[in-house]
Amino acid sequence: MADNAPVLKAVVPAAGLGTRFLPATKATPKEMLPVVDKPAIQYVVEEAVDAGLQDVLMVTGRSKRSIEDHFDRAYELEEALRAKGDAERLGAVQESSDLAIMHYVRQGEPRGLGHAVHCARQHVGNEPFAVLLGDDMIDARDKLLQRMIEVRNRYGGSVVALMEVEPDQVSAYGCAAIEATDEDDVVRISDLVEKPSPDEAPSNWIIIGRYVCDPAVFDVLEKTPPGRGGEIQLTDALRTLADMPADQGGTVYGVKFRGRRYDTGNKLEYLRTVVQFAAERPDLGPEFVPWLREFVREYDAAGGVDGPGGA
**pLDDT 10s digits, 193-208:** 878 888 888 898 999 9
Residue 308: inside a domain, yes or no? no
Residue 2: inside a domain, yes or no? no
Residue 34: inside a domain, yes or no? yes
The CATH number covering residue 66 comes to 3.90.550.10
Instruction: Give the integer Cα–Cα distance in Å for 311 and 288.
Output: 27
Shared domain for 174 and 252, answered yes or no, is yes
Backbone angles phi, psi at 286, to 5 degrees: -55, -30
Instruction: Give the integer Cα–Cα distance in Å for 133 and 170.
Output: 18
Amino acid 306: pLDDT: 63
Amino acid 218: pLDDT: 97
Q: Are strands 136-138 and 261-263 parallel, antiparallel or unpaired?
A: antiparallel
Task: With a cut of 70, say whether residue 49 has pLDDT above it.
Answer: yes
Confidence of residue 63 (pLDDT cuts 50, 70, 90): confident
Instruction: Give the integer Cα–Cα distance in Å for 307 and 105.
Output: 42
Shared domain for 258 and 202, answered yes or no, is yes
Confidence of residue 1 (pLDDT cuts 50, 70, 90): very low
Task: With a cut of 80, say whether residue 21 has pLDDT above it.
Answer: yes
Shared domain for 230 and 271, answered yes or no, is no
Buried b (16+ CB within 10 A) or exposed e, 295-305: eeeeeeeeeee
Mean pLDDT value across residues 23-42:
92
Task: With a cut of 90, say whether residue 295 has pLDDT above it.
Answer: yes
Amino acid 309: pLDDT: 53
Shared domain for 93 and 225, answered yes or no, is yes
Amino acid 61: pLDDT: 86
Residue 59: inside a domain, yes or no? yes
Calculate the CA dihedral of residues 36, 29, 59, 241 and round it to 10 degrees. 80
Amino acid 267: pLDDT: 92
Amino acid 197: pLDDT: 84
Task: With a cut of 70, say whether residue 173 has pLDDT above it.
Answer: yes
Shared domain for 28 and 61, answered yes or no, is yes
Residue 3: inside a domain, yes or no? no
Proportion of the chain above pLDDT 90, given as a percent? 71
Mean pLDDT value across residues 3-30:
88
Residue 285: inside a domain, yes or no? yes
Question: What is the domain count for the chain?
Answer: 2
Confidence of residue 307 (pLDDT cuts 50, 70, 90): low
User: Judging by beta carbons within 10 Å of its beta carbon (0-12, 13-18, 19+), is residue 115 exposed, middle or buried?
Assistant: buried
Helical axes 87-98 vs 75-84, angle rounded to 10°: 150
Shared domain for 152 and 273, answered yes or no, is no
Task: With a cut of 60, say whether residue 42 has pLDDT above it.
Answer: yes
- Where does residue 85 fall: left (phi above 0), alpha (psi -120 to 50 degrees), or beta otherwise? left
Please provide the distance, in angstroms rounded to a whole number, between the alpha carbons at the two ends of the chain.
62
Shared domain for 47 and 193, answered yes or no, is yes
Shared domain for 119 and 240, answered yes or no, is yes
Amino acid 305: pLDDT: 64
Residue 162: inside a domain, yes or no? yes
Proportion of the chain above pLDDT 70, given as a percent? 97
Amino acid 132: pLDDT: 97
Task: With a cut of 90, say whether residue 272 has pLDDT above it.
Answer: yes
Shared domain for 231 and 274, answered yes or no, is no
Amino acid 5: pLDDT: 85
Shared domain for 139 and 284, answered yes or no, is no
Residue 108 or residue 188, greater confidence: 188
Q: Which range is least confidently modeled, 30-39, 136-145, 238-247, 302-311?
A: 302-311
CA distances from 308 to 183, 269, 275, 289, 302 (A): 51, 20, 18, 21, 15
Contact partners, residue 10, CB within 8 Å, separation at least 6: 45, 48, 51, 53, 55, 56, 57, 129, 130, 131, 132
Amino acid 308: pLDDT: 57
Task: With a cut of 60, say whether residue 50 has pLDDT above it.
Answer: yes
Highest mean pLDDT out of 69-73, 191-195, 300-304: 69-73
Shared domain for 240 and 291, answered yes or no, is no
Angle subtended at Cα 291 by Cα 288 and Cα 297, rounded to the nearest 5 degrees: 140
Residue 196: inside a domain, yes or no? yes
Shared domain for 139 and 254, answered yes or no, is yes
Domain of residue 287 covers 266-303
